[in-house]
Structure 1
């Protein structure tokens, strides 16, 4: 292969590693019900005539130091006494750790509520009057969320707050508001989402959780594939069956009017109690900016709880997100268990989305492993598994950070995790549908298929004969996981843009390759044009960027075109980009958007359009 040397360009060459599946899953069962089953002659995540996705996965750090961070020592515990009451326990010995001058203290409790201030209902909170309480006393739940304050006082009755903690419980709705729909055909749904978790990342960093799935015969879908870049369009495809173009036209600045499109509203109209919760609100959470709910979208809504305040603690390579004296993620999962247990004799649909342990490479998902294992065990003991679908899923893999410099990350980013518990009762009553879902573990699937699956569960639960008519309109060739997926299915069939499609093998090139560098320079020229056209605040401009380092070059091809996948950095700022370029003869064309593959550092805060900040290095004009 002809090579040229570009002395002004520093290049690095990171080889791609193809890892056998048995190094990811240390399990050799040939039982088709287990997600480790594979064709021994081929080593692909998906191996069908329509789609072949090779096993090329990042090796995540397994020897990271244990997380020494904690949210502090809890001195006050609140537990559910019955569906309507809770009991408080105050550990006086632990409380002494927080007292500053005397040994005298008292505690009170108050409830956290949404703000009633017009225009601030979704951003502010209010508190009820604080009621003094003693150790061992019970009190009635007024709202889902409780704040306990403890005061130290002296002989002059001067008081100071020395302890504050919060607790979340599902306050059971009045029986007249909830139809008792427990029967032999009704199925509940509990969806547990975890941000930025590919199948490989879950398997490597959360082995205890994956072990629980394997031991209990959960389904694991190796071909679950994202359809868009980031969280919102991927989860909205699963929640509504609609693509981002449709959602942006219908729901921007009016998300409350779009709530009926979301699958939980369909279940609510059928008598189900609904819940939605998401932690780590300091991040750009799922329903944000133009897509923020001003009113609670579900019966139980945890945003109010986390608005009380979250704090992030960092130490070395570890971090923990705390809401008072417990991790935000634990609060979220504890509420999910309580929600399922509280409505176990009714019908429920809940979605709980966790950002705090996995949003990027600084959030170590291995620190959540035991917590999730305990969570799924707790669900088992509630007795809901007989008639409840539990779906553990993600939106995409890691999109930025050090791991994205590796070639394997091309696949990792595009293939989020999807595991599903199929309830015992369903396996007995709908055996053929269950068999189809088992076979689909090795097929190309998308969030649109997940949406259709939720529609199917609702239809079966409510004896709706023609429920398939309610399947996704934006993906006509998609079906539910209970329908056998065609082996000829392609990305184009199921709404996956060529930019995101991973149904091909990448072939590595030397970073000095002449033709590969032409593709890099083509993308660089495109980025420079974007920089020149970016509008900024007064007295600021975007600095001209130039190529700094070529990180990797790969190519793939089909019957029509040759494609280059390139990653490189530009300076100043050291911003890393990834792009796909189509080559047909001498003609080059960018495939989809250019991706920024590193965390935003604040360099582009001067831009007027928030989407322009990723390629802008803001520079202040002289004498301005």
Structure 2
């Protein structure tokens, strides 16, 4: 008993000693630099920068950008859980080496066969080859090879489909994907002292506030393990495509359209993963929920694999919506993606790798429920704390934007929610020990950051030690967040359009005359859009009239007042949000007015799907 007490006291004393030493060491290294920040911003102390705890009235508070802590008052309402079950897996395939798999048939198979005799076989799945050219948008199956329980097979291809059938019908089908390690030697044209791996995990439609509210286990894990939390990660475009492409290419939407208008294959050379591949890295990418039009299905997707390993063909084996889930056979699509991402990092942890994996299926639509993957995602990150890759791997857990439509867009706080996706960053242990630049990353948690900055940052990771500067075409003055960002930085400095800028508090509009003029300008802008919409024969878009003003707020810029308005139109009860700039007696709509309603099904007569949000179809003949 005494030995136990002594051991306990020793452990507690050691922990306290280590904690005090760690804090003093961090303070000694970082505090001189932080004091410069404090001198520029008297409202923030050194302790506040390091210990922001979420109870403050702001997310960041700098001379250039003030963002209120909207999550303190915004109450998230997620969809009800209807059904969260893709099926019971009865055939398990385990990767036992880089060359072999082991197949085990569980007794659960009898529930599928209902006691009847059955036979099982497996097929490898590969991209289709048409006239000698591989097309990643289509798949083909090998012949089905019979197998019994506890069978060892060779890993010939990454994707496998298993079928079990009685004499009458197929009773069981499942799909699996494993990383098949490339044997070719990678060319390395960089003379790096330490090659830093990069893993990007993206979750669609996930603000920082939504993560904390709807995925508490994941959020708590990230806090407990001291991932960096960039509270002012600011989107630069309306939906997924411009924000993801800004991250991957450093270009804005018009620049992307100019280079990628024929196909995504045409512009793959400007994607981040291509730079890493040229530098000798093994690369991988994947995205689930393929029927969404937001990300890489644009321009008909990639015909050629953009990276060494590419998951799209796997999801072509069949994604189905079941309740709140999107399933690929017996597993949610996102779980397949997480398993593959983990397999990829384990396979190449002794090499150099860059992976980007994006999942939509637990958060994109209003009937998706993030809570359902919360435990699995926390376990996914926990694996990295045991498999050794955290010493030399940057891991980014981020999103493209927050909730863009639905009932959650009515409260005024949703203005910030929609514009502020999450960004959490794991910085490698070795990097923290080796470079004083780590202190800049700590400071930048309370700075305005955009996808353009992350693009430059990831390129700079390739060049650490080479003193080569990188930049973004869309934002030439954006810098890597490994360098300290100025506390005076504004949306204009970061090339964020005023329409999307979050760097200001909103106050309720009190000037009723000016508010009415702003609403009139927004409605007039909608009328102009509607008049130009092309529809199918015998159809036209109805003229819309104001039904109800949902909210009206303002903020001031240097030379203007900006009105942020949400209003409902009739017929159709479609709601919109508009930003209207007032300069003197002139009222001008900023960018394009966007819908905040659930997807408009009454606009099916439009020829261009982009116009669906603005059209209530009326039959003419």
Normalized against structure 2, the TM-score is what? 0.88
1:291: Cα distance to partner?
6.3
Indicate the residue corresponding to 2:369 in structure 1.
Answer: 364
Indicate the residue corresponding to 2:52 in structure 1.
Answer: 36
Indicate the residue corresponding to 2:15 in structure 1.
Answer: none
1:324: Cα distance to partner?
0.5
1:63: Cα distance to partner?
8.5
Indicate the residue corresponding to 2:8 in structure 1.
Answer: none
| Count of residues in Structure 1 that have an aligned counterpart in Structure 2 | 575
Q: Does 1:485 align with 2:500?
A: no
Query: 1:128-277, aligned counterparts within 5 Å?
Result: 128-153=142-167, 159-176=168-185, 185-277=194-286
Whole-Å separation in 1 of the counterparts to 2:448 and 2:190: 35
Deviations 1:450-472 (A, max 9, x none): 01110111112xx4221x1x321
Whole-Å separation in 2 of the counterparts to 1:287 and 1:591: 28
Structure 2 CA distance for partners of 1:330 and 1:496, relative to 1, 3 Å: same
Whole-Å separation in 2 of the counterparts to 1:106 and 1:519: 69
Q: Determine helix, strand or coil for the equivalent of 1:108.
A: strand
Q: Determine helix, strand or coil for the equivalent of 1:247.
A: helix
Deviations 1:187-232 (A, max 9, x none): 1111000001111011111111111111111100011101111111
Indicate the residue corresponding to 2:64 in structure 1.
Answer: 50
1:179: Cα distance to partner?
7.2
- The structure in which a higher percent of residues are helix is 2
Indicate the residue corresponding to 1:105 in structure 2.
Answer: 118
Indicate the residue corresponding to 1:307 in structure 2.
Answer: 316
Q: Determine helix, strand or coil for the equivalent of 1:535.
A: coil
Indicate the residue corresponding to 1:574 in structure 2.
Answer: 573
Q: Does 1:472 align with 2:472?
A: yes
Q: Does 1:385 align with 2:399?
A: no
Moved more, 384-393 or 284-293: 284-293
Contact 1:188 1:388 survives alignment (8 Å): yes
1:128: Cα distance to partner?
0.7
Q: Does 1:330 align with 2:346?
A: no
Whole-Å separation in 2 of the counterparts to 1:33 and 1:530: 46
Gaps of 5+ in 2: 1-44
1:487: Cα distance to partner?
0.9
Indicate the residue corresponding to 1:355 in structure 2.
Answer: 360
Moved more, 288-297 or 125-134: 288-297
- Over the aligned positions, Cα root-mean-square deviation in angstroms equals 2.3
Structure 2 CA distance for partners of 1:129 and 1:177, relative to 1, 3 Å: farther
Whole-Å separation in 2 of the counterparts to 1:456 and 1:409: 34
Normalized against structure 1, the TM-score is what? 0.88
Moved more, 440-449 or 111-120: 111-120
Whole-Å separation in 2 of the counterparts to 1:330 and 1:143: 20
Deviations 1:556-586 (A, max 9, x none): 1123111111101112211110001111222
Gaps of 5+ in 1: 1-28, 154-158
Structure 2 CA distance for partners of 1:504 and 1:61, relative to 1, 3 Å: closer
Whole-Å separation in 1 of the counterparts to 2:46 and 2:87: 46
Q: Determine helix, strand or coil for the equivalent of 1:340.
A: helix
Q: Does 1:75 align with 2:90?
A: yes
Contact 2:84 2:372 survives alignment (8 Å): no
Structure 2 CA distance for partners of 1:110 and 1:63, relative to 1, 3 Å: closer
1:600: Cα distance to partner?
1.5
Whole-Å separation in 2 of the counterparts to 1:249 and 1:234: 16
Contact 1:393 1:418 survives alignment (8 Å): yes
Indicate the residue corresponding to 2:326 in structure 1.
Answer: 321
1:60: Cα distance to partner?
3.9
1:497: Cα distance to partner?
0.3
Contact 2:204 2:358 survives alignment (8 Å): yes
Q: Determine helix, strand or coil for the equivalent of 1:233.
A: helix
Contact 1:67 1:367 survives alignment (8 Å): no
Whole-Å separation in 2 of the counterparts to 1:184 and 1:31: 34
Whole-Å separation in 1 of the counterparts to 2:330 and 2:47: 44
Q: Does 1:284 align with 2:293?
A: yes
Q: Determine helix, strand or coil for the equivalent of 2:304.
A: coil
Indicate the residue corresponding to 2:462 in structure 1.
Answer: 458
Contact 1:567 1:579 survives alignment (8 Å): yes
Contact 1:33 1:219 survives alignment (8 Å): no
Contact 1:360 1:401 survives alignment (8 Å): no
Q: Determine helix, strand or coil for the equivalent of 2:234.
A: coil
Whole-Å separation in 1 of the counterparts to 2:334 and 2:79: 20
Structure 2 CA distance for partners of 1:384 and 1:107, relative to 1, 3 Å: same
Structure 2 CA distance for partners of 1:556 and 1:62, relative to 1, 3 Å: closer
Whole-Å separation in 2 of the counterparts to 1:590 and 1:197: 27
Indicate the residue corresponding to 1:440 in structure 2.
Answer: 444
Indicate the residue corresponding to 1:14 in structure 2.
Answer: none
Structure 2 CA distance for partners of 1:485 and 1:168, relative to 1, 3 Å: same
Contact 1:360 1:400 survives alignment (8 Å): no
Q: Determine helix, strand or coil for the equivalent of 1:381.
A: coil
Q: Determine helix, strand or coil for the equivalent of 1:378.
A: helix
Whole-Å separation in 1 of the counterparts to 2:388 and 2:187: 20
Indicate the residue corresponding to 2:503 in structure 1.
Answer: 503
Q: Determine helix, strand or coil for the equivalent of 2:120.
A: strand
Moved more, 330-339 or 123-132: 123-132
1:34: Cα distance to partner?
5.5
Q: Determine helix, strand or coil for the equivalent of 2:108.
A: helix
Query: 1:537-556, aligned counterparts within 5 Å?
Result: 537-556=536-555
Whole-Å separation in 1 of the counterparts to 2:244 and 2:386: 29
Whole-Å separation in 1 of the counterparts to 2:165 and 2:190: 46
Whole-Å separation in 2 of the counterparts to 1:621 and 1:62: 40
Whole-Å separation in 1 of the counterparts to 2:119 and 2:157: 23
Indicate the residue corresponding to 2:348 in structure 1.
Answer: 343
1:66: Cα distance to partner?
5.5
Structure 2 CA distance for partners of 1:284 and 1:133, relative to 1, 3 Å: same
